[in-house]
Amino acid sequence: MTITRRNFLATAAAGGTAAAAACATLAPSGAQARESHQVPENAVGLLYDATLCIGCKACMSACKEANSLPLEDNIGEKLWDTPLELSGKTYNVIKIYQSGTMENKDKAENGFAHIKRSCLHCADPSCVSACPVSAMQKRPTDGVVTYNKDACIGCRYCVAACPFGVPQFQYDTPTPQIAKCQLCKHRMEQGKYAACAESCPTGATIFGSYKALSEEIERRRAMKPGEPNLFPRRTPDSGDTHEKAAPEYVDYVYGQKDAGGTQVRYLSGVAFDKLALPMGLPERSYAADSETLQHTLYGGMILPVVALAGLVTAAWKGSKDHHDDDDFDMFDHPEGGHK
Res. 44: pLDDT tops 90: yes
Residue 101 CA to residue 110 CA, distance in Å, equals: 5
CA atoms of 109 and 156, how far apart (whole Å): 39
Domain boundaries, the chain: 2-33+291-329, 44-281
pLDDT-derived band at 15, boundaries 50, 70, 90 = low
Average pLDDT along the chain = 86
pLDDT 10s digits, 150-202? 999 999 999 999 999 999 999 999 999 999 999 999 999 999 999 999 999 99
Cα 252 from Cα 321, distance rounded (Å): 63
Confidence of residue 328 (pLDDT cuts 50, 70, 90): very low
Rounded to two decimals, the pTM is: 0.80
Share in percent of the chain as helix, strand, coil (round to 5): 30, 15, 50
pLDDT for residue 211: 98
Q: How do residues 61-76 score in pLDDT, each as one tens digit?
A: 999 999 999 988 877 6
> Dihedral sign, CA of 140, 144, 149, 153?
positive
Cβ partners under 8 Å of residue 285, min gap 6: 36, 37, 122, 123, 124, 126, 259, 260, 261
**Residue 90 above 50 pLDDT?**
yes
Distance CA 85, CA 267 (A): 20
pLDDT digits 0-9 by tens, 313-324: 666 566 655 555
**Res 220: pLDDT:** 98
Q: What is the mean pLDDT of residues 74-92?
A: 85
CATH of 44-281, one of 3.40.1410.10, 3.30.70.20, 3.60.21.10, 3.40.50.300: 3.30.70.20
> By the 8 A CB rule, do 71 and 61 touch?
no
Q: pLDDT tens across 145-161, in order?
A: 999 999 999 999 999 99
Ramachandran sector of residue 296 (left: φ over 0; alpha: ψ -120 to 50; beta: rest): alpha
What is the model's pLDDT at position 16?
52
pLDDT digits (tens, 9 = 90+) for 271-310: 999 998 999 999 999 999 988 876 666 555 555 666 566 6
